[in-house]
Amino acid sequence: MTRRVALVAPTGSYVGPPLARLLAAREHDLVIADPADGLVDELEELGAAVEVVDGASDLSDPAACDRLVSAGLARFGQIHAACMFSGRIVIGRFLDSTVDDLHAVVNGNIEAPYHFLKHVLPTMLDAGDGQVLVITSASAARPTLGAPLYSATRAGASMLVKNVAAEVADKGVQINAVGTNFMDFPEFIRANRIETPEQRAKVESYVPMKRLGTMEEFASFCAVMLDGTSRFQTGQFISYSGGWSD
């Protein structure tokens, strides 16, 4: 096999589509979950063989993770790189929160990366080769007023990555995490009620770089930790937030 195989889940929104395109352009075949309309055609035009797994975006479901890995191994025989993102946002003050709120963020923000890592790592460890990137949130790097449960569970996921990475560092498998904030995509725009240029400017004023990040530049940042070109970093959490968390 001359081409690497990358698993990206999900690929219906956020960084999934641009990251899949970039990896396809870098001579990767793809295993993808729930692709955006037209994405498969784009990837195939870039030369990638594509294995689609529908209904596998909820990575807190271990069955979804199993289906993704099993489909990749059945089609390609190996998975060299794997990237996942998930998230459940619960906002509000800590004293107003409920146990149900806690369970929701643990499920979406910790159980999802837990199940993903449990399913993708065995085949990589058997091969003695692999790269995993877990996308969390920049809120893992600093207290986030109004979202204490979300921030705490994102920090927990990032620390899980560091611990698991240390456990397998001598086995040829890299595991890193990156967390975002202030990104220009529909969910962030809606969540921050950005409807006018003035409202956007106010949100951008909170960012040291005074703008929102794009999905394309974030995909480029992620790709270097997945495409096999940089193999000497593991167990890292990096905030991708225009300086907000520094």
When pLDDT is cut at 50, 70 and 90, the band that residue 187 belongs to is confident
Considering the entire predicted model, what is its pTM? 0.94
pLDDT of 18: 98
Q: What pLDDT, in 10s, does the model give residues 84-133?
A: 998 788 788 989 999 999 999 999 999 999 999 999 999 999 999 999 99
Q: Reply yes or no on whether the pLDDT at 26 is more than 80.
A: yes
Flag whether pLDDT at 169 surpasses 90: yes
pLDDT at 82 over 90: yes
Position 191 scores a pLDDT of 80
Measured between alpha carbons, how far is residue 85 from residues 16, 52, 80, 135 in Å?
9, 17, 17, 5
pLDDT (0 to 100) of residue 89: 80
Element (H, E) at 5: strand 4-9
pLDDT value of residue 150: 92
134 φ, ψ to 5°? Answer: -110, 120
Whole-angstrom distance, CA of residue 71 vs CA of residue 76: 8
How many C-beta atoms surround the C-beta of residue 177 within 10 A?
A: 26
Predicted local distance difference test score (pLDDT) of residue 1 = 53
| CA pair distance 234, 131, nearest whole angstrom | 9
| CA–CA dist 240, 183 (Å, integer) | 9
For the chain, what is the mean pLDDT?
95
Q: Which domains are present in the chain?
A: 4-182+215-239 (3.40.50.720)
Q: Which of 223, 173, 182 lies closest to 202, judged by CA? A: 182
The pLDDT score that the predictor gives to residue 184 is 94
Q: Are residues 208 and 246 in contact, defined by beta-carbon separation less than 8 angstroms?
A: yes
